[in-house]
Structure 1
Amino acid sequence: MSVLRKIIPCAFLLLAFTSTDNSADLLIKESFKRAEIMYTDMINDQSNYDLYPRTSANDGSLKSTDLKDWTCGFWAGDLWYVYEYTKDPKWKDVATKWTESLKDNQFNKGTHDLGFMMYCSYGNGYRLTGNKAYRDILIQSAKSLASRYSPVTKCIESWDQRMSWDGKTLWKYPVIIDNMMNLELLFWASKETGDPTYYNIAVSHANATMKNHIRPDYSTYHVVNYDEKTGAVLNRETCQGFSNNSTWARGQAWAIYGFTIMYRETKDKKYLDTATKLADFFLNNKRLPNDKIPLWDFNVNQEGYTPLWNYNKEKYSNPIPRDASAAAVVASALLEISTYLPKETGKKYKADAIEIIESLSSSAYLAIPKTNNNFLIKHSVGSLPHNNEIDVPLNYADYYYLEALLRYKKIENEISL
């Protein structure tokens, strides 16, 4: 027997939405109906709770991943968001099972991604159920993440790997912009335990990132390599972007979202100012397409930006791949930003977020049932330099899309985020 019974009637097999939909409620309602249909099929195809649906493989089949992968927590998070919207215990049951299969990661000190892995899964589970066992696991996860902090660099180390992806640079202490997303777990742990250590680490990391990852125009570097003995910046690079001096779209999205978290948790206006300026770079960029779904890198193929890898311009220029996952992250962040600003100023960021959500909810990006390996969002990019996950679904694109829908619903209903 399947894990979930056929709970969605065939009559709900809807076409993707367009901007002619007459209300936010309709768009959100139908998007979650779509999620229920497709995730039911996903679960029927993948009922092994030690495997976590991630993307599509090169042969078009579903590609799942294991406990150690940085994306492993997003699938449980997707399910928790469906449960949050529907309140249907069927979704709580499957979200619980996939979440609890991740518990050994609480002791994993070999990754900076415990926020993604554990807060998106256990964090949502604890928020929605109040399960005290989840609290203890999250606190241990925060301890493991904090173990990667260096008082010399004032940052949490991202990778233990010492050779850069292209084999040309010896990293000493690499820190990536993505790491801003994992600070939310530390803030949560500080509030839960009363221990300021976690809070102080998060603030220290964010301040170093603000100083060393962000350019004067509020674009971002992907990787900053520090000297682990002195804390000096040795070099700034990319790993998943077009070139070292380019702006990788999802890296910019991580930064927007991460500094929004910083303002929420500290109420220090310098972080809100940073988040809005990072967002302005994204939204006002001349290379942002009209539908606001970015190219995978803002500077791809531009003069003055040279890829340090074997980039096939002919293959990847017609068209240049988009990254819907970056758009989903930005949409969710913009909705939160809009609530922290004066009403008239906030309206702009809310409107931009809604435009992105409507684009993602259109047939161009929102898959129909029985396609896209039952992920919702199409057209994301994992890492083009690694020739990996190009123009595919990604579980974290779904996660931030669903989160954006829930935030949109709360804002429309004037409920605090």
Structure 2
Amino acid sequence: MINEKKLEAALKDAIDKTRKNIARFNGKFPHVSENEVYQLNDNTDWTNGFWSGMLWLSYELTRDTSFREAAVRTVESFRERLESQTVLDHHDIGFLYSLSAKAQWIIEGDESAKSLALSAADVLMKRWRPRSMLIQAWGPEGHEENGGRIIIDCLMNLPLLFWATKHTGDVRYAEIAVHQAEKSRRFLVRGDDSSYHTFYFDQESGEPLCGGTEQGYSDGSTWSRGQAWGIYGFALLYHFTRDKRYQETSIRMAKHFLERLPEDGVVYWDFSVPFTSDTKRDSSASSITICGIHELLKGLSNGHPDRCVLEEGIRRQLEGLIEKYATIGKPDAEGLLERGAYSVRGNASPDDYMIWGDYFYMEALARLTAGHKGYWYEL
């Protein structure tokens, strides 16, 4: 694996930049950057939980109360957002509340934070469509284009539902999570272990229609960040269900991803795009995959035939991020990782900082230096 001192130095750099960003962001939430300056919002986007997660990680790793104070303020902002139902009509509720309110519950046992996270799980449950048996990703119920649409990102929102079953005793949360997981495994993952970004179903019958994409190169391509969500999402599903099919799916998707790593260990934004010197990378996809593979390895024996290739995949990607993509040596940089890609096809921050890339990079460093596991579940 990577030299421990190098990992610790990278983590210290990430924490130092996060500390500086508390004042820079001044109570607002970073999203993506333009020209290396983060766009900020008043907690209205799907990405806002990642900043909260970075603050909680920094607090746990340092016990510096300035991080806790800033993190608690984000949780209060998420409480206000839920009470006012501000831009919550989508499936990314787990991204928002697992890394904010649920994180506070995991760290401090705060009952108010627990209650907030459970209320967020109820909001996510409203996305369930009983006729088509799916959690609708985007748009209002009955929407002509999106009414029967799932996306692979949703796998990372399902841990909130399993957690809600654990703390309420209501099995319906977990049952719906399993329905969504199984639909995703069957229809989003292709036979060659690549993945669709999205899949469409008939809203009335639930009949499968076709795969597609929103951010990938084409409907039949493999968007690398979508593949990363699948790797991590199915690894987490194995933790909750102990269903070997999810573990096997995560392994297959991880090997497909690792087989397509460029020489420097950090993937292009889509595996099917023509590769030239100008092709965009997505450092955030690699940071997500590192965390997903690390989680996956927890369930594999030392003698598992894929263990060595998976461990080598972590090493290659994290070494590439630290040495070529991290802003180490740039103390005034707002972001932790350069060359993230929000939407290349839509020309929206196609080559800049991404707050989720920064979060998963920090989680990866915390996993390998401190045995952290993120805030997706509690022991």
Q: Give the alignment's TM-score, normalised by structure 2.
A: 0.91
Q: CA deviation at 1:388?
A: 0.3
Contact 1:119 1:185 in 2 (8 A): yes
Question: What CA deviation, in whole Å up to 9, does each residue of 1:341-361 have, x standing for no partner?
Answer: 110333432232122122111
Q: What is the DSSP-based 3-state SS (H/G/I as helix, E as strand, rest coil) of the residue aligned with 1:101?
A: helix
Q: What is the DSSP-based 3-state SS (H/G/I as helix, E as strand, rest coil) of the residue aligned with 1:263?
A: helix
Question: What CA deviation, in whole Å up to 9, does each residue of 1:373-405 have, x standing for no partner?
Answer: x11111100011111011101110011111111
1:337 partner amino acid: L
**Corresponding residue number in structure 2 for 1:377:** 337
**Corresponding residue number in structure 2 for 1:254:** 229
**Corresponding residue number in structure 1 for 2:367:** 407
Contact 1:365 1:379 in 2 (8 A): no
The percent of aligned pairs where both chains have the same amino acid is 31
**Which of 89, 92, 103 is the equivalent residue of 2:68?**
92
User: 2:296 matched to 1:321?
Assistant: no
Question: What CA deviation, in whole Å up to 9, does each residue of 1:162-198 have, x standing for no partner?
Answer: 999xxxx944322111111100111111111111111
Gaps of 5+ in 1: 1-18, 303-316
**Corresponding residue number in structure 2 for 1:334:** 293
Gaps of 5+ in 2: 373-377
**Corresponding residue number in structure 2 for 1:155:** 134
What is the CA–CA distance in structure 1 between the aligned matches of 2:368 and 2:331, rounded to whole Å?
27
Aligned residues: 369
**Corresponding residue number in structure 1 for 2:22:** 43
User: 2:296 matched to 1:289?
Assistant: no
Shift in alpha-carbon separation, 1:229–1:339, aligned structure 2, 3 A: same
1:198-347 superposed matches below 5 A = 198-285=173-260, 288-301=261-274, 317-345=276-304, 346-347=307-308
Q: CA deviation at 1:284?
A: 1.6
Q: What is the RMSD computed on CA atoms of the aligned residues? A: 2.2
What is the CA–CA distance in structure 2 between the aligned matches of 1:151 and 1:294, rounded to whole Å?
37
1:72 partner amino acid: N
What is the CA–CA distance in structure 2 between the aligned matches of 1:94 and 1:102, rounded to whole Å?
13
Shift in alpha-carbon separation, 1:366–1:170, aligned structure 2, 3 A: same
What is the CA–CA distance in structure 1 between the aligned matches of 2:169 and 2:179, rounded to whole Å?
18
User: 2:345 matched to 1:368?
Assistant: no
1:19-98 superposed matches below 5 A = 23-24=3-4, 26-47=5-26, 49=27, 51-57=28-34, 60-98=36-74
Q: CA deviation at 1:99?
A: 2.4
1:327 partner amino acid: S
Q: Give the alignment's TM-score, normalised by structure 1.
A: 0.83
Q: CA deviation at 1:144?
A: 0.7
Contact 1:222 1:239 in 2 (8 A): yes
Q: Could you list the structure 1 runs, at least 4 aligned residues long, displaced by more than 4 angstroms after superposition.
A: 161-164
2:329 partner amino acid: I
Question: What CA deviation, in whole Å up to 9, does each residue of 1:27-67 have, x standing for no partner?
Answer: 332123212321232222221x2x2012212x553311232
What is the CA–CA distance in structure 1 between the aligned matches of 2:50 and 2:297, rounded to whole Å?
25
What is the CA–CA distance in structure 1 between the aligned matches of 2:58 and 2:6, rounded to whole Å?
15
Question: What CA deviation, in whole Å up to 9, does each residue of 1:128-187 have, x standing for no partner?
Answer: 1111100000000001101111222221000116999xxxx9443221111111001111
Shift in alpha-carbon separation, 1:90–1:326, aligned structure 2, 3 A: same
Shift in alpha-carbon separation, 1:268–1:190, aligned structure 2, 3 A: same
1:124-135 superposed matches below 5 A = 124-135=103-114
Q: What is the DSSP-based 3-state SS (H/G/I as helix, E as strand, rest coil) of the residue aligned with 1:389?
A: coil
What is the CA–CA distance in structure 2 between the aligned matches of 1:29 and 1:98, rounded to whole Å?
27
Question: What CA deviation, in whole Å up to 9, does each residue of 1:184-213 have, x standing for no partner?
Answer: 111111111111111101100000111111
Q: What is the DSSP-based 3-state SS (H/G/I as helix, E as strand, rest coil) of the residue aligned with 1:376?
A: coil
Q: CA deviation at 1:215?
A: 0.7
Shift in alpha-carbon separation, 1:133–1:163, aligned structure 2, 3 A: closer
